[in-house]
Amino acid sequence: MGRSMSLTGFLQTASLQVASIGNNIAIQIAAGSSLKAVYKHYHKHGTLTLQHFIIFFGAFELFLSQLPDIHSLRWVNGLCTLSTIGFACTTIGVTIYNGKKIDRESISYSLQGSSSAKRFAAFNALGAIAFSFGDAMLPEIQNTVREPSVKNMYKGVSAAYSVIVLTYWQLAFTGYWAFGSQVQPYIVASLTVPKWTIIMANIFTVIQISGCYQIYCRPTYAYFEERLASNRTSMLKNGLIRPIFTSIYIVVITLVASAMPFFVDFVSICGAVGFTPLDFIFPVLAFLKAGKMPKNRAVGISMRILNVGIAAWFSIVAVVGCIGAIRFVVEDVKTYKFFHDM
């Protein structure tokens, strides 16, 4: 029993760290791309590259990382929430506008390439879809829910997923309608007119994900700070742990994002290995472990079969999604050099 719980705890922690770190690599690439797009609008022949803007964003996140906890970021999170709504509304509207400007007969919705390429693209997409369900699953957020925690957590998750479906999923649908199979992984990169709305969407993106980055890095900070800090060491040494560790964390994330700026690949890896277990596998296994089945035997057996089926299916999704994402990373590394200015 103890060994089983220890293994479960290890797997949960590993999935959480993969989700958090992978998400922040993807975020830093997206932020760099948005900042570069704004820069290129005003300085068409400017010499700054994507890597410069990834570094600029990393420096800003290092500053925010010195704030003690999520509660001290309330003003950032409030601004990010407004920017999320602004980004979704602006980008959906501009995507529809661009879609109507395009000759609809020229749009193809079929997948390109060989049958194996199509198969891996589908695998990769499973990870990307799983990624969209991750925002409500971080313990750093769940730990602050007021009593009764179960009821309020259910309300929070329901609200979060409703917002995801009404904003980001609608954006995915409209993007695919507008541009078909040629749509860019980062939808804003597919937009061409009007210029001022594209600039606004990019600015909304940077503001929005600056707070999101902090939400995802905090579990990693907390995990290592709890193990490195000690009552036996001086307050000065404990105080130095945060700036030293956050600097190491930001440098590593920035280095990876700069070297391999493949946004959709990290989204898929993060979704497959991180969020799929956290969202769909561990909750089901915890429910089965708790054993709180209906008293009706037939209903109880049906519930158990359903939950085992869900866990098995999403375990397959996690594996094939990871395979698809890794394959795309390998292909991109072959196509582009490290630190490619995309």
pLDDT tens-digit map of 164-173: 788 888 888 9
pLDDT of residue 331: 84
Residues 271-299 pLDDT 10s: 888 888 887 888 888 888 877 777 888 88
**Other Cβ atoms closer than 10 A to 123:** 22
Sorting pLDDT into bands at 50, 70 and 90, what band is 1? very low
User: Above 80 in pLDDT, residue 342?
Assistant: no
Of the spans 72-86, 160-174, 300-314, which averages the highest pLDDT? 300-314
User: Above 50 in pLDDT, residue 251?
Assistant: yes
Question: Is 44 or 13 the better-scoring residue by pLDDT?
Answer: 44
**Cα angle value 52/25/91 (rounded, 5°):** 80
User: Above 70 in pLDDT, residue 213?
Assistant: yes
Least confident of 130-144, 193-207, 230-244, 269-283: 130-144
Domains in the chain, number:
1
**Structure tokens given for 26:** 């993807």
Sorting pLDDT into bands at 50, 70 and 90, what band is 94? very high
Is position 206 within any domain?
yes
Least confident of 183-197, 228-242, 317-331: 228-242
Is position 72 within any domain?
yes
Is position 164 within any domain?
yes
- Give the ranges where 143-194 is alpha helix by DSSP (H): 149-164, 170-179
Give 16's Cβ-side CA count (13 Å radius): 22
CA distance 147 to 177: 43
pLDDT of residue 17: 82
**Other Cβ atoms closer than 10 A to 217:** 23
pLDDT of residue 253: 94
Q: Which candidate, 167, 143, 142, 169, places its Cα nearest to that of 156?
A: 142
**Structure tokens given for 79:** 């601004």
CATH code of the domain covering residue 117: 1.20.1740.10
* Residue 204: domain span: 7-335
CA distance 121 to 125: 6
User: Above 50 in pLDDT, residue 153?
Assistant: yes
Query: Computed over its alpha carbons, how large is the radius of gyration of the chain?
Result: 21
Is position 340 within any domain?
no
CA distance 333 to 342: 13
315 touches 281 (CB < 8 A): yes
Residues 26-83 pLDDT 10s: 899 999 999 999 999 999 899 999 999 999 999 999 999 988 777 777 788 788 888 9
Sorting pLDDT into bands at 50, 70 and 90, what band is 142? low
DSSP character at residue 146? P
CA distance 44 to 27: 24
